[in-house]
């Protein structure tokens, strides 16, 4: 999701309206993210760091680099710089209650014949969401039964995907988790105020960098998708296209979870609302 930043009064680099419009267009074209005028100072602050790191003297030169054959690798840094990832374990807890009580049991019943269940955390950030999903799965799978249940976790930002895959967090990050869960699923890192996610959770999850605006290498079908606090940064036509693609890759009756301020209102008729920002694909 898009970050916020304080206005910087004394600017090191010239940053014109044309530069800002060029940045907005590139971010929209490559990531589907719409920047409004209030983000101008944020853009300057975040991209100025890239100019310094690359020893480039102007935004015009930086934009030319992005458009060049040599700029492909810098495009990743460009997108990473303009996005940030606010998340927490069991954020919006009613979603995880619904996962435990309704969506997961439904998926298990649906797949009694093949025992193959697939979930997707689309916009996984630093991993708190998919690891929360994995805790629910581990705590609610039937005992002594073998299930092929996997969670795909993707994000646009390659840096946070790498952090998520490592599965290490400061001890403070798990302070909101119950003591029993923290003891069961996290282990202290010796000599550091950090914890490591238990291997039983990590083995359920595959972390990948993915731009939702590009082609998707996976074919599905998925039984459930979490895409929370992601589409709020897209314009309505982009949201509509994304919801259609989610419907295409979900099983009939599969679930799509959105963030607390997101809605499908008047964008698609392929889902029905079944709970607070919880949607079910219609048959």
- Interior angle at CA 254, CA 88 and CA 100, nearest 5: 50
- Whether 85 and 61 have beta carbons less than 8 Å apart is answered as no
Closest residue by Cα to residue 210 from 44, 10, 32: 32
Residue 191 tokens, joined: 């000599």
- 92, 198 in Cβ contact below 8 A? no
Computed over its alpha carbons, how large is the radius of gyration of the chain?
A: 20
Longest pairwise C-alpha distance within the chain: 65
Asked if residue 265 has a cis previous peptide bond (ω within 30° of 0), the answer is no
Q: Which residues are catalytic?
A: 46, 155
């Amino acid at each position: 999701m898009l970050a916020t930043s304080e206005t910087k009064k004394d600017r090191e680099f010239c940053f014109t309206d044309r530069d800002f419009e060029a940045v907005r267009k590139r971010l929209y074209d490559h990531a589907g993210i719409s920047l409004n005028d209030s983000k101008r100072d944020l853009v300057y602050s975040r991209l100025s760091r890239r100019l310094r790191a690359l020893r480039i003297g102007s935004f015009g030169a930086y934009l030319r680099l992005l458009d060049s054959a040599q700029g492909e690798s810098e495009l990743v840094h460009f997108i990473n710089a303009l996005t940030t990832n606010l998340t927490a374990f069991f954020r919006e807890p009613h979603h995880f209650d619904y996962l435990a009580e309704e969506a997961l049991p439904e998926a298990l019943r649906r797949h009694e014949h093949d025992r193959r269940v697939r979930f997707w955390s689309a916009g996984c950030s630093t991993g708190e969401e998919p690891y929360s999903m994995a805790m629910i799965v581990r705590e609610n799978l039937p005992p002594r039964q073998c299930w092929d249940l996997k969670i795909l976790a993707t994000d646009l930002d390659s840096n946070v995907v790498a952090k998520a895959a490592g599965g290490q967090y400061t001890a403070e990050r798990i302070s909101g988790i119950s003591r029993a869960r923290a003891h069961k699923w996290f282990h202290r890192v010796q000599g550091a105020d950090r914890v490591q996610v238990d291997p039983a959770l990590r083995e359920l999850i595959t972390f990948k960098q993915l731009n939702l605006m590009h082609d998707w290498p996976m074919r599905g079908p998925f039984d459930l998708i979490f895409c929370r606090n992601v589409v709020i940064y897209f314009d309505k036509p982009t949201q509509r296209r994304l919801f259609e693609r989610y419907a295409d890759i979900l099983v009939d009756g599969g679930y799509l979870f959105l963030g607390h301020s997101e809605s499908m209102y008047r964008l698609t008729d392929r889902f029905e609302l079944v709970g607070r920002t919880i949607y079910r694909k219609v048959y």
